[in-house]
Amino acid sequence: MSRLVVISNRVSKWKQGGAQGGLAVALNSALRQNNGLWFGWSGQRVETFTGHLDIEEHGGVRTATIDLDEQDVDEYYNGFANRTLWPLFHYRIDLAEYERSFGEGYERVNNRFADTVLPLIEPGDAVWVHDYHLIPLGYRLRKLGCNNKVGFFLHTPWPPTRLLVALPYHQRLVESLFAYDVVGFQTEEWLESFRHYCEKELGANIDGETISYGDLTLKAIACPIGLDHTEFLAASQSEDADKAHDKMRASLQDRKLIVGVDRLDYSKGLEERFNGLERFFTDNPEQQREVVMVQIAPPSRGEVESYQEIRAALDAQTGRINGAFAHVDWTPIRYANRGYPRVELAGIYRAAKAALVTPLRDGMNLVAKEFVVAQDPEDPGVLILSRFAGASLQLTEALLVNPYSAEELSDAISTALAMPLEERQRRWRAMMDVMEKTDVIWWREKFTQYLR
């Protein structure tokens, strides 16, 4: 089988059991089984960009990374990627910022990625580009003479046409996707939004999965990312997970645990989640001192102003709720701004009676899947899941909620905590069946089958 070359914004230096994002976990799983190469930014900054490659091997995965200079990081990463595309793709047009220098930096870094990675691509390699940071990368690779099969997968939502057209040079961005052989989306909804734009704005012809634009064609598919089910199940049954579970249970003093684990981001609906929890304690005074919410929210993109604002708002909100409801021997919300290794999270998930995974908009959300896998089959917790997360289309036996409604969140918490064992087991088994069939291997094989 030909090699798989993965290109993404950041490259994770894999550590078994370490704190990893969903994309990092999924890609490491794919690369370990495909003798692959992972190329991207190291996360380090240098005074002047040189294109120097650092090639290493970690856990059976070969990585090749480059450093970016300060201007690159400011304009490409903090700028166009995270102040323009991220809010726009998550329907937050009110937060999207448009600066010409952002776009220039975005194209410059994509060109630098292409120039540097091209000599590493061998004939017959399948190239798999990931996420909104690198949309134009395929176009640049083609201009440099790359004739390999090249695919692109978007891990975020794709916005409706009426929102996307607010982006300056939106047509140029979408046209660059026609350099790819295959473009993948998390859900049919995001795929349909892309098809609608191509048809209405570009005048492209759509024939099944094939979209033709002039003399260019691509395959556009929905291919929801899966979890490395086997690996995470093993982690959840490890000694370290057991220790984390026991430590959490001991700290609760027989209280019921609700858990949330999210990167600190306005798309995750944390303010709305806390509003729902406040409503729950207001509506159910008998549950006060009986329920604890543990919210783990490691900070991200701290140089972007909107992320500084969400952190300050959540600090104030948790303080206000705890001040209103706490007793000397009980605090309703434990709020931690730090990350934890996945193996420890698995133990914390298993200690919980319910999980709140309530983003306002999310491409998939692998935390929802991790929570389900980590549960004790004999006494599983309940997943409360936003209907606006991509995972809601697969995990239909979760309690699906509108995260904007504090009342609906409150009702879902009450339902979850009172749910009979038989119903919890039935819902858990149905969700496990889905994840076992559509795990990370299924995701990789489905996409690469189209690509090859």
Residue 61, pLDDT score: 83
| Domains of the chain in sequence order | 4-185+187-222 (3.40.50.2000), 229-437 (3.40.50.2000)
Residue 186, pLDDT score: 97
Separation of alpha carbons 111 and 299, rounded Å: 29
| Contact status, residue 229 vs residue 436, Cβ threshold 8 Å | yes
Separation of alpha carbons 228 and 26, rounded Å: 7
Separation of alpha carbons 41 and 59, rounded Å: 19
What are the pLDDT tens digits along the chain (452 aa)?
Answer: 578 899 999 986 554 444 455 566 667 766 877 778 999 999 999 999 999 999 998 777 889 999 999 999 999 999 999 999 999 999 999 999 999 999 999 999 999 999 999 999 999 999 999 999 999 999 999 999 999 999 999 999 999 999 999 999 999 999 999 999 999 999 999 999 999 999 999 999 999 999 999 999 999 999 999 988 888 999 999 999 999 999 999 999 999 999 999 999 999 999 999 999 999 999 999 999 999 999 999 988 777 888 889 999 999 999 999 999 999 999 999 999 999 999 999 999 999 999 999 999 999 999 999 999 999 999 999 999 999 999 999 999 999 999 999 999 999 999 999 999 999 999 999 999 999 999 988 998 899 999 98
Separation of alpha carbons 122 and 26, rounded Å: 23
Residue 261 vs residues 309, 373, 374, 411, 445: alpha-carbon distances, Å: 19, 15, 14, 21, 28
Residue 296, pLDDT score: 97
Residue 409: enclosing H or E segment and its boundaries? helix 406-418
What b/e sequence results for 231-248 when a residue is b if at least 16 CB atoms lie within 10 Å of its CB, and e otherwise?
Answer: bbbebbeeeebeebbeeb
Q: Hey, CA dihedral for 93, 94, 95, 97, is it positive or negative?
A: positive
| Contact status, residue 38 vs residue 31, Cβ threshold 8 Å | yes
Is 207 labeled as catalytic in the residue annotation? no
**155, 228, 229, 265: the active-site residue:** 155
| Contact status, residue 69 vs residue 136, Cβ threshold 8 Å | no
Is 130 labeled as catalytic in the residue annotation? no
Residue 412: enclosing H or E segment and its boundaries? helix 406-418
Which of 360, 369, 400 has the alpha carbon at shortest distance from 384? 400
**67, 262, 265, 362: the active-site residue:** 362
* Tokens linked to 14: 């894999």
Separation of alpha carbons 290 and 20, rounded Å: 32
Separation of alpha carbons 22 and 232, rounded Å: 12
Residue with the two structure tokens 């949309």: 135
Which of 227, 257, 262, 445 has the alpha carbon at shortest distance from 333? 257
Alpha helices in 227-361 (DSSP H): 229-236, 239-252, 270-283, 305-325, 342-351
Separation of alpha carbons 266 and 311, rounded Å: 9
Q: 22-32 vs 366-374: helix axis angle to the nearest 10?
A: 70
